[in-house]
Structure 1
Amino acid sequence: MTTEQTYWLEHAWLDTNVEPGVAVEVTGDRITAVRTGVEAPPPNATVLRGLTLPGLANAHSHAFHRALRGTVQVGSGTFWTWREVMYSVADRLTPDTYHALARAVYAEMALAGITTVGEFHYLHHQPGGTPYGDPNAMGEALIRAAADAGIRITLLDTAYVASGLKSATRGADPDRHQLRFSDGTTQAWAERAEGLKDRPHARIGAAVHSVRAVPAAQLGTVVEWAETRRAPLHVHLSEQTAENDACQAVHGRTPTQLLADHGVLGPRTTGVHNTHVSAGDITLLGRSETGTCMCPTTERDLADGIGPAVALQRAGSPLSLGSDSHAVIDILEEARAMELNERLRSHTRGHWTAAALLRAATADGHAALGWQDAGVIEAGALADLTTVALDSVRTAGPVPRLAAEAAVFAATSADVRHTVVGGRHVVRDGEHTLVPDVPGELARTIAELKEQG
């Protein structure tokens, strides 16, 4: 039986404007009507007080990195030393423990107003590389975890078959940690990934881990797989200067140029980070309409650098946002950080309006994940809503017409009061309705993983 319900939004962000008194009518999982100027809640309407946004999209996640929070903040180092700690967590996960961890992480995302996550997934096999009885057991664990937490997922099943660039035709063999990431070849990856199927809350996409993890000669297989399914295709791109240097040494071109030469770039492709790209790279990404997913909290946590987001967007690359390693899970902070990072670099303010940053966090983020029917509050869209309090110590004060500015530049995930996914009230008054003790679940699952180390 299809349910019908009405949500009354005290204030709503509708594309570029904040409107007071908005009634959103929902049938099943979709919005059927949006009425503005509704001064009082209609009878039997669910009231959402604060500023309601379209559901937020987290376009880049590695769920198991959540177990690193705090642990990796001791001492110094680089991305490459951080990676060794990351491997130690990856080695411990099984389908059951990954399901438990991801369920808690995705519930934390729901509490932060995230209604859709893009999971960049490469933990495919058992440590040592032996497949599970179900070769997609780890991916299926993530899909179940998202369902349990009440959010949508795009599982970006990731090809990762080499440990680094070796020659123009082949990569270096995976090390002992990376064996569980690898299917041996991208053809074997494609055959395994074929077993993953879309479902109402989950869509299947593809990913090239990076040019160092997929030899150039094998990129075409991943491109063809995604093209056949009209699926999103993501790739870590120029996150580190060492990757650029190695690609120049082996291929005589930048990673972006290499991807362009092998047909990877295009409107359904998103480059994650795009931190150390040249002017020529920016032109290639923009002209091909390849998206850019910025992950500012991770990029600063790992000392990666500040990517040229302004130049990329001006060239034609749509922007989305991700929490990546989950140093924090807060898409409002990612949006704010993108602007503030650019201010530090340029010594000028106001590169994006609050509305532009919210678009990256909502509609453009969903589009990058293959959910073009989400990320807006309008008839026909999926009924995904995120309500930010306007009366907390962080957000109180600005007049309602500046509520979007207050949300982007002052609010945090702690100010999210309601999250609605497909018409289902997943977070109500700051409490998760499906996972009653999210902090407890996180603490228990992470403690159990650390006990194994």
Structure 2
Amino acid sequence: MKIFSNRAWLPSGWRENVRVSLDQGVVAGIEDNATAGAADIRVDTLLPALSNLHSHSFQRAMAGMTEFRAAGQDSFWTWRTLMYRFLDHLTPDHMEAIAALVFMEMQEAGYASVGEFHYVHHQQGGHPYDDRAELSTRILAAAAQTGIGLTHLPVLYSYGGANKAELSGGQLRFGNSVEDFSELLGAVEAAMTAMPSDTRLGIAPHSLRATAPDDLAEVVSRHGNGPIHIHIAEQPREVSDIVDWLGERPVQWLLKHQDVKPNWCLIHATHMTQTETASLAKSGAVVGLCPITEANLGDGPFNGPAYLGAAGAFGLGSDSNIRISLTEELRTLEYSQRLRDLCRNVMVNGAGSVGKTLYLGAAAGGAQALNRKAGKLEIGCLGDLVAIDSTHPQLCALHGDQLFDGLCFAADDRVVSDVWSAGCHMVKDGRHIQRDRITANYCRAIRDLTNALNA
């Protein structure tokens, strides 16, 4: 397959009339100042596509259901209670149909791959399925339907809260001991043999509050060679609970007691001291930022300027999937910093394009977090590519690096024309090639699910 673009962003900068060759999912050749071949796929502007590094796909079906203010002050914790009630009615068929829609929407928004932080493992009440990996195989099936690049991240969730509180209610569907979790990973590995070669497997100890120090050490020792993702320091109450239990703040404790390296991804890391911020950046780990969800849940803004100033790696995720939009994640990250600091153009070191800093930083960090050789348009990298239309009214006045700024701050996802996931051309003219079938399956599943919720 060959793609001809009017312009493309390469590691060396903007280049004109670029011809890209893809072979077995990998970029095999790049020519600039080239001439298009008769059979080439023609696009306007070609960029490395981003990885969506943090998703709980099933929560997409809850979008709009939790925006009613209950008596008293609503918070992350009241939202979580409603999420547990929702889980009581979720079946494997629902899970697959919802995940397929989510993955399709991600690709139409410009993402080529996803890290699925998957923590629903069991039947209602906590009883394992006959196949312990039943729900993971549904995530794999959804990825196969859509063609999205998948890093599957089964979650170890053993306790209901800090200090080894017992699981209860909806949490029972998440629970595994370290031994059960190891069995689950073995079953997932077996199922993954039928998946494309770019599919990856990692682990996700859910959080310090849902594991324990000995369990965390054991699971990392057994299964920590690939990606390791963990929620951390998302909410002030979480920070105080961990301080009361372990005697240190979550990020402080993790950096002291685990060998946090570049294969780690710390999700949210919202509430950090300046010392924690600098130390986390120095570790080489990626911070997984989910600006739309963090705003929706009232988590608070990330310590962006200090982290960026310390050369920290970051990527973007859509988390609860209440709104799947690459452009909106980018701008929400920057705007959260502006609102806190009362100034403009915050997420850039020194002078330069904020949009370029955000986009290319998220491309590199997301690929690192998902263990994908991607995030740049370079020979030997996976063909994770996105084409945007610079002639669209939202971008047509812009040129050069302003295209990054326009994409981040002026455009919406309608400017995305094409997406390739590991060389598979899944979005054409802004539309996923399986959109009709995936959407019909989702609508059937959601009717069944809402009928059960309202019964």
TM over 0.5: yes
Contact 1:388 1:416 in 2 (8 A): yes
Instruction: Work out whether 1:404 is the aligned partner of 2:404.
Output: yes
Q: Distance in 2 between matches of 1:330 and 1:406?
A: 15
Give 1:289 deviation, angstroms. 1.8
Which has the higher mean CA deviation after the structures are superposed, 52-61 or 404-413?
404-413
SS at match of 2:436: coil
Q: Distance in 2 between matches of 1:334 and 1:208?
A: 25
- What do the CA deviations read for 1:9-40 (whole angstroms, capped 9, x no partner)? 122122373322110011121111111122x4
Q: Distance in 2 between matches of 1:203 and 1:91?
A: 29
Q: Structure 1 residues 423, 267: closer, same or farther in 2, change over 3 A?
A: closer
Give 1:342 deviation, angstroms. 1.2
Q: Any residues of structure 2 matched to 1:309-324 within 5 Å, and which?
A: 309-324=304-319
Q: Structure 1 residues 108, 211: closer, same or farther in 2, change over 3 A?
A: same
Match of 1:162 in 2: 159
Instruction: Work out whether 1:61 is the aligned partner of 2:52.
Output: no
Q: Distance in 2 between matches of 1:393 and 1:160?
A: 47
Give 1:195 deviation, angstroms. 2.3
SS at match of 2:241: helix
Match of 1:355 in 2: 356
Match of 2:265 in 1: 270
Contact 1:31 1:380 in 2 (8 A): yes
Instruction: Work out whether 1:12 is the aligned partner of 2:4.
Output: no
Give 1:259 deviation, angstroms. 1.6
- What do the CA deviations read for 1:118-173 (whole angstroms, capped 9, x no partner)? 0001001111111111101111110110110110111111110101112xxxx011
SS at match of 2:426: strand
SS at match of 2:229: strand
Match of 1:186 in 2: 178
Count residues with an aligned counterpart: 439
Contact 2:102 2:321 in 1 (8 A): no
Q: Distance in 1 between matches of 2:183 and 2:402?
A: 51
Q: Any residues of structure 2 matched to 1:142-153 within 5 Å, and which?
A: 142-153=139-150
Taking only aligned residues, the RMSD between alpha carbons, in angstroms, comes to 1.8
Contact 1:25 1:34 in 2 (8 A): yes
SS at match of 1:71: coil
Match of 2:351 in 1: none
Give 1:365 deviation, angstroms. 0.4
Instruction: Work out whether 1:140 is the aligned partner of 2:132.
Output: no
Which among 223, 228, 233 is matched to residue 233 of structure 1?
228
Give 1:438 deviation, angstroms. 4.9
Which runs of 5 or more residues in structure 2 are unaligned? Answer: 349-353
Give 1:309 deviation, angstroms. 2.2
Which runs of 5 or more residues in structure 1 are unaligned? Answer: none
Match of 1:336 in 2: 331
SS at match of 1:420: strand
Instruction: Work out whether 1:213 is the aligned partner of 2:210.
Output: yes
Instruction: Work out whether 1:73 is the aligned partner of 2:67.
Output: yes
Contact 1:321 1:360 in 2 (8 A): no
Q: Structure 1 residues 389, 441: closer, same or farther in 2, change over 3 A?
A: farther
Match of 2:166 in 1: 173
TM-score normalised by length of structure 2: 0.92
Give 1:310 deviation, angstroms. 2.4
Contact 1:256 1:284 in 2 (8 A): no
Match of 1:36 in 2: 32
SS at match of 1:404: helix
Q: Distance in 2 between matches of 1:176 and 1:74?
A: 22
- What do the CA deviations read for 1:322-368 (whole angstroms, capped 9, x no partner)? 11111211122212221221122222322223222112332220111
Q: Structure 1 residues 15, 380: closer, same or farther in 2, change over 3 A?
A: same
Match of 2:188 in 1: 196
Give 1:57 deviation, angstroms. 0.7
Q: Structure 1 residues 432, 303: closer, same or farther in 2, change over 3 A?
A: same
Q: Structure 1 residues 11, 440: closer, same or farther in 2, change over 3 A?
A: farther
Q: Distance in 1 between matches of 2:268 and 2:319?
A: 10
Which has the higher mean CA deviation after the structures are superposed, 10-19 or 115-124?
10-19
Q: Distance in 1 between matches of 2:62 and 2:49?
A: 27
Contact 2:205 2:228 in 1 (8 A): yes
Match of 1:259 in 2: 254
What letter is aligned with 2:51?
A
Give 1:225 deviation, angstroms. 2.8
Give 1:287 deviation, angstroms. 2.6
Match of 1:365 in 2: 366
Q: Distance in 1 between matches of 2:115 and 2:401?
A: 32
Contact 1:66 1:105 in 2 (8 A): yes
Q: Distance in 2 between matches of 1:406 and 1:315?
A: 26
What letter is aligned with 1:349?
R
Instruction: Work out whether 1:300 is the aligned partner of 2:292.
Output: no
TM-score normalised by length of structure 1: 0.92
SS at match of 1:292: strand
Contact 2:151 2:200 in 1 (8 A): yes
- What do the CA deviations read for 1:275-295 (whole angstroms, capped 9, x no partner)? 011123223312322210111
Q: Distance in 1 between matches of 2:397 and 2:437?
A: 32
Match of 2:21 in 1: 25
